[in-house]
Chains A and B, each alone.
Chain A
Amino acid sequence: AQSVTQPDIHITVSEGASLELRCNYSYGATPYLFWYVQSPGQGLQLLLKYFSGDTLVQGIKGFEAEFKRSQSSFNLRKPSVHWSDAAEYFCAVGPANQAGTALIFGKGTTLSVSS
């Protein structure tokens, strides 16, 4: 079955500390992978995406993610967290050979930032 697992429901990080959010996927075909962020009362904003090529991808707001095919993972990282990063983060997967197909989302990880 196709699925996305985000093992951490809630993470608290001190401001200035590093961050890693985990994402594992189960997908029968070559995947496209995405990370979205959702602030309270807002829609989903695309942070970064992986389609092919370099397995380390850079996104907006200083985020990066690494695709590891052998581990079926696409973890999100940031070297130094800012208070404004507090939000909910969603990992999503879609088929690489069927553009326009709906995404499958994980249940999300809520990030809290402490001062």
Chain B
Amino acid sequence: EAGVAQSPRYKIIEKRQSVAFWCNPISGHATLYWYQQILGQGPKLLIQFQNNGVVDDSQLPKDRFSAERLKGVDSTLKIQPAKLEDSAVYLCASSSQRSGGGLNIQYFGAGTRLSVL
């Protein structure tokens, strides 16, 4: 089966510009996650969707970051305006289990590496 697809793989922008990342999860996976991975650190959750509803966006800087998952499949993460500290790898992951029990195996895409100059 196809894995989690992300695009673009790399993006370089100047501060105060806007940028968008796209994620296509594994077919049939109801749960989708966006993680931010700053150099030298582990991934940190930004937002989690269950189908097309938001489950957890407590760590999302909502003044500049937004995300949507229309129709419960693909998702887009946007940053506007970007800051220098947004330079990171943005990872998308998906899993098939709903909250409330069962396994929680998350499958990750290759990520988008963002450099803000």
A interface list, Cβ under 8 A from B: 4, 32, 36, 41-46, 49, 51, 90, 92, 94, 97-103, 105-108
Whether A101 pairs with B99 at a CB distance below 8 angstroms is: yes
Whether B104 pairs with A94 at a CB distance below 8 angstroms is: yes
**Total A-B residue pairs with C-beta atoms closer than 8 Å?**
77
Whether B108 pairs with A44 at a CB distance below 8 angstroms is: yes
Whether A100 pairs with B97 at a CB distance below 8 angstroms is: yes
Whether A102 pairs with B33 at a CB distance below 8 angstroms is: yes
Smallest CB–CB gap between B5 and chain A, Å? 11
A-side interface mostly = loop
Complex-state Cα separation, A24 to B20, whole angstroms: 35
Complex-state Cα separation, A101 to B103, whole angstroms: 10
B-side interface mostly = loop
Whether A107 pairs with B104 at a CB distance below 8 angstroms is: no
Complex-state Cα separation, A45 to B33, whole angstroms: 15
Whether B95 pairs with A106 at a CB distance below 8 angstroms is: no
B interface list, Cβ under 8 A from A: 4, 6, 30-31, 33, 35, 40-45, 48, 50, 55-56, 91, 93, 95, 97-111, 113
Whether A98 pairs with B108 at a CB distance below 8 angstroms is: no
Whether A107 pairs with B110 at a CB distance below 8 angstroms is: no
Whether B48 pairs with A46 at a CB distance below 8 angstroms is: no
Whether B100 pairs with A42 at a CB distance below 8 angstroms is: no
Whether B109 pairs with A43 at a CB distance below 8 angstroms is: yes
Complex-state Cα separation, A92 to B37, whole angstroms: 14
Smallest CB–CB gap between B76 and chain A, Å? 18
Smallest CB–CB gap between B103 and chain A, Å? 6
Complex-state Cα separation, A92 to B33, whole angstroms: 15
A32 — which chain B residues lie within 8 A by C-beta?
A: 103-104
Whether B42 pairs with A100 at a CB distance below 8 angstroms is: no
Report which of B35, B45, B97 forms a contact with A99, defined as CB distance below 8 A: B97
Whether A92 pairs with B42 at a CB distance below 8 angstroms is: yes
